[in-house]
Structures are given as C-alpha cells and as structure tokens.
Structure 1
Amino acid sequence: MSDLISYERNLPHRLPPGEVVFLTFRLAGSLPRTVVEQLQAEIELARQRFELEPAQLYEAQKRYFGRFDAQLNKGEYGPMYLRQPAIAELVAESLRYFDGTGYDLRCYCLMPNHVHLVVRILEDAPPLVKTLQRLKSYTATQANKLLERSGPFWQAESYDYVIRKGELEQVLAYVVENPVKAGLVEDWGQWRYTYWAV
C-alpha cells in the first residue's frame, strides 16, 4: 500500500480513494499529555487483544474515540481559538476550499478546540493526507497571524477512520450534534460553524 494513503504516527491511518472518511483534528495542547497517553495506551492494548478480531477492534476504537471526544468537549484544558469568529471562519473557508478538488465534503463541525469532518476521498485527487497537510499548514499560519502568536497551532496527529457501509447517516448526525452534546446549543442548526451537504 502506498505511503500516501497509509501512514502512521501514534495511530495507523489508511485513507483509500473512493472511501468516505470521518476525521477529527484538534488544537495543539488541547488535552493534557497524561490524558492522551492514557487513551493511547488503552487503544494499543485493545489492538493487541483484538488483533485477529476486526469487529471487536472496531468497537474498541469507537469507544476510544468517544472518550477522546468527550475530553475535548469538556474544554477544560488548553486553547479555544476556534471560539473566535475570525479563526473559525478561516478554518471553515479552508475546509470548503478543498471541496471538489481534495475531497467531496459531506459535513463538518468546528468546536472550540477541535474539528470534525466527513469527506469522500476523490479518485483523482491528491492523497487526502497531503490535502490535510496543506489545509492545516495554511490555517495554522493564518490563524497565528490573526492571533499575533507563533508556535504549533494544530496537534500533528489526527484521528480518522473509514466509515463502514450503513453507518454514514449515523456518523453525519454525530458530527452535527457535537455542539448539542457539549452543551453549547440546544439544536445543531443553531451552531454557526456546522455544515451538512444536502
């Protein structure tokens, strides 16, 4: 498998063309290191335990992500730059910019410290990992200028998984309902930085 569609830092990433993918990336420093290390240890243990049982591993990975996302939604640690309208609009515009060239954008939700995104990887587009690198690099540079700061803006590691057949509507609902679950609004339509393609 090409390293352009499969790469690994702390988590394995396999992003084949034609698939619909759920992604989450967060601001640098948005979770304490101890929390991240504990969650990573849990998922590594699950990988070892369920290596030959894909269905159980998949369920363990979903539970891992649920705990990870719940920690982010608490907003108890680190920067919340995406609360600022200028920064959120910059990121939203950048997500829409790559629609049709880097991916087919299905939905996104910008939370105060992280982004959820669902895209279909286009067959003739650059590898998604390259598109995400461009997007994160550009938004980091521009956001740091707006914030009059320097240093890492995004955490290097992203979370992603290929959405299984029959799960797309559930994942789309999860993304747009994130601000409701976090107690930020009562209805997902009230959240300014949510997009769901018709």
Structure 2
Amino acid sequence: MPDLINYERRLPHRLPPGETIFLTFRLAGSLPQQVINQWREEDELKRNRLELNSEQRYTEQKRYFGRFDAQLAKADYGPTWLEQPEVAGLVAQALHYFDGKSYDLLCYCLMPNHVHLVVSLPVEAPPLLKTLQRLKGYTATQANKLLLRSGAFWQAESYDHVVRQGELARIIAYVLENPVKAGLAADWQQWPHTYLAPM
C-alpha cells in the first residue's frame, strides 16, 4: 500500500493511511458557480504571487475552505435535501456502514446541504477515495429514489485535509458546533444529524 494517495480534480488530495482526515462534501449545485470561480481565481492569483512555505499554504488552504463553509452554512442557494430526515438517515447509515471497515468514524455532522466528517484511517485501510466513491454513489442513488428525482446528487469534489497533531479536539468541536453556528440548534446535542464516537 502506498504511503501517500494523491489524486486531483480541482484540488490536490493527500489521504495517507494511518492518519486522521477531516472531510467535507456537499450537494451538487449548493454554491453558485460564479462565486466558486471567483474564489478559485483569487486563490490561484495569491498562490502564484507569493512563494508560500508549508505553514503559509496550510493557513491559506484553511482560509479558502472557510469561505466555502461559511457560504454553505447559510444554505441560501441550491438544494437542501439533507434537512429531510429520511435522506439524512440514509447518509448517516452509510457513514456508519464503513466504520471499522474502511475507516474509524470519529464524528460527523450532516447540515442541510453538506457533510462534515472526521475519520481515522487504519494503516491497512483501502484508499479513502474508493470508499468515498462507494459511499457517495450509493447514497446518491438511494436519495434520488427517495426524492423521486434523477441527476447529480453530490458535488464531485470533496474538501479534505490531514488533521495535524494537536488539532483533533478543535476540529471535532468545529464539526459538532456547525448547526449551532448556523442557528439550527441551541446545542450540538440537540441536532439530530450529528455523531461523536465514544472516546
């Protein structure tokens, strides 16, 4: 098994076995394309203008993701199918299905139009890319049946990054507090679509 799994679509993805990974994926059409294009251009210009060291690149990546996440949290554009209990339940069930098989599930939060997920990858885990393809493919098919629709359900691209030493507690808190920050619940434990593994 390779030490590092790289694949590219619009973003580089480094998902090494033996690491903990923070992932976000969203519903297709949940952000305006013109806004995404503008942010990508701005991000590319900044990266081309500046020679960034690894710490600066990491900071810029977090800032870039933060813009997407803040816009998604508003849920004011595109579909919000995950707010339907049957659809959210289907996705939650699929996330748990792969727990202990392809990853160790640490926490997740299903928002109306996106999913935050933190998993730990065993050293001998199958490539996370393949697991995500299976998970998203299955849930897309089943959710479309529930919704009596066809077409793209998930956006193809996902956001991910390796959780650095010392930041796991902060990231888990960030994931769980998403519905509180969005005004959907007064406390994360009141939100029916969150999960925190027993520690």
Change (3 A) 1:121 1:46: farther
Q: Which runs of 5+ in 2 are unaligned?
A: none
Change (3 A) 1:4 1:166: closer
Q: Distance in 1 between matches of 2:190 and 2:69?
A: 20
Change (3 A) 1:26 1:174: same
Contact 2:107 2:119 in 1 (8 A): yes
How high is the sequence identity, in percent, across the aligned residues? 69
What TM-score, normalized to structure 2? Answer: 0.95
Asked if 1:124 corresponds to 2:124, the answer is yes
RMSD, aligned CA: 1.6
Q: Distance in 1 between matches of 2:34 and 2:130?
A: 29
Aligned pairs for 1:150-169 within 5 A: 150-169=150-169
Asked if 1:92 corresponds to 2:92, the answer is yes
Structure 2 match to 1:41: 41
Alpha-carbon deviation of 1:43? 2.7
Structure 1 match to 2:77: 77
Contact 1:51 1:57 in 2 (8 A): no
Alpha-carbon deviation of 1:44? 2.2
Q: Distance in 1 between matches of 2:49 and 2:122?
A: 34
Change (3 A) 1:107 1:61: same
Superposed structure 1 runs of 4+ greater than 3 Å apart: 1-4, 49-52
The one-letter amino acid of 1:116's match is: H
Q: Distance in 2 between matches of 1:148 and 1:70?
A: 30
Q: How many residues end up aligned between the 2 structures?
A: 198
Q: Which runs of 5+ in 1 are unaligned?
A: none
Q: Distance in 2 between matches of 1:131 and 1:17?
A: 13
Change (3 A) 1:50 1:15: farther
Deviations 1:115-174 (A, max 9, x none): 000001121121000000000000000000010100000000000000111000000000
Q: Distance in 1 between matches of 2:46 and 2:124?
A: 35
Structure 1 match to 2:62: 62
Q: Distance in 1 between matches of 2:60 and 2:38?
A: 15
Change (3 A) 1:139 1:175: same
